[in-house]
Amino acid sequence: MTAPDMVPALRLLGLRKRFGRLGVLEGIDVDIGAGRVTAIVGPNAAGKSTLIKCVLGLVRPDQGAILVLGQPIGTDPAYRLAIGYMPQGAPFPENLTGQEILTLLRELRGGVAELDDELIHRFNLGPELGKPIRTLSGGTRQKLNAVVAFLFRPSLVILDEPTAGLDPLASAILKEKIQEAAERGVTVILTSHIMSEIEELASDVIFLVEGRVHFQGTMAHLRHTTGEHRLERAVARLMRARVA
């Protein structure tokens, strides 16, 4: 939760989105504090992906406002420079090498001088960067995906199933990077179907069902509210309470 005198890193106010007759976001009001790891959880079709796409400017909400670092987003895409995004399986151009992708992204950003490329070294990814993307394994592509998410030192990082396809060592390295980023004040938004991963990384939880927020608070508050120590059981109890 965010202290009253602090500007949230991300604020969603009355966010609504429909696709035809289907209501996907039904009035989302959320504050996400700086320097926190916030997990967005919920069943399939809860609205998680649409919410993230709205923040990224890939989907335009029908109603409501989105403020990133205190500034309302509009038609100017410049706010995205503060965001690092790790989608679930980045669609990198198959004919380019990893190094060519990193160079291209840097040029698109205007030749940013100070990069955070330490994950290249932690993952021992250097020998793979000269190879075309089409020749890389899924795990290696995911490592490159993680590198790109942190490369431009973002203030807000959005990670969608970040450890999917990673081996245990690479997964541990990425988790360490996430925790270190949060300690430096970076805001991390995480989605994952691996409840143990969320328990390990997240300080806060937002629980979505059918486009509505049914819980927002710290992990400790969630456990206290549900009486369950394990996140999977706590989420299950929230879902049962909703249909009861």
For 58, residues 6+ apart whose C-beta sits below 8 A from its C-beta are: none
Sign of the four-CA dihedral 68, 71, 74, 80? negative
**Mean pLDDT calculated for residue range 62-82:** 89
Taking the model in full, what pTM does it have? Answer: 0.91
Among 37, 30, 33, 27, which residue's Cα sits nearest to residue 4? 33
Question: What pLDDT digit, counting tens, does each position of 126-150 carry?
Answer: 999 999 999 999 999 999 999 999 9
Range in 22-26, 112-116, 162-166 the model is least confident about: 112-116
Confidence band of 3 (pLDDT split at 50, 70, 90) = very low
The 3-class secondary structure across 28-61, one letter per residue, is: EEEEECCCCEEEEECCCCCCHHHHHHHHHCCCCC
Residue predicted with more confidence, 45 or 65: 65
Sign of the four-CA dihedral 93, 90, 9, 51? positive
Domain boundaries, the chain: 10-243
Confidence band of 232 (pLDDT split at 50, 70, 90) = confident
**Mean pLDDT calculated for residue range 186-197:** 92
Mean pLDDT of the chain: 91
**CA–CA dist 51, 68 (Å, integer):** 14
**Phi/psi at 17 (5° precision):** -150, 130
- Structure tokens of 30? 């959320």
Asked if CATH classification 3.10.450.50 holds for the domain at 10-243, the reply, yes or no, is no
pLDDT computed for residue 75 by the predictor: 75
pLDDT computed for residue 243 by the predictor: 58
Examine the pLDDT at 188 and tell me if it is beyond 50: yes
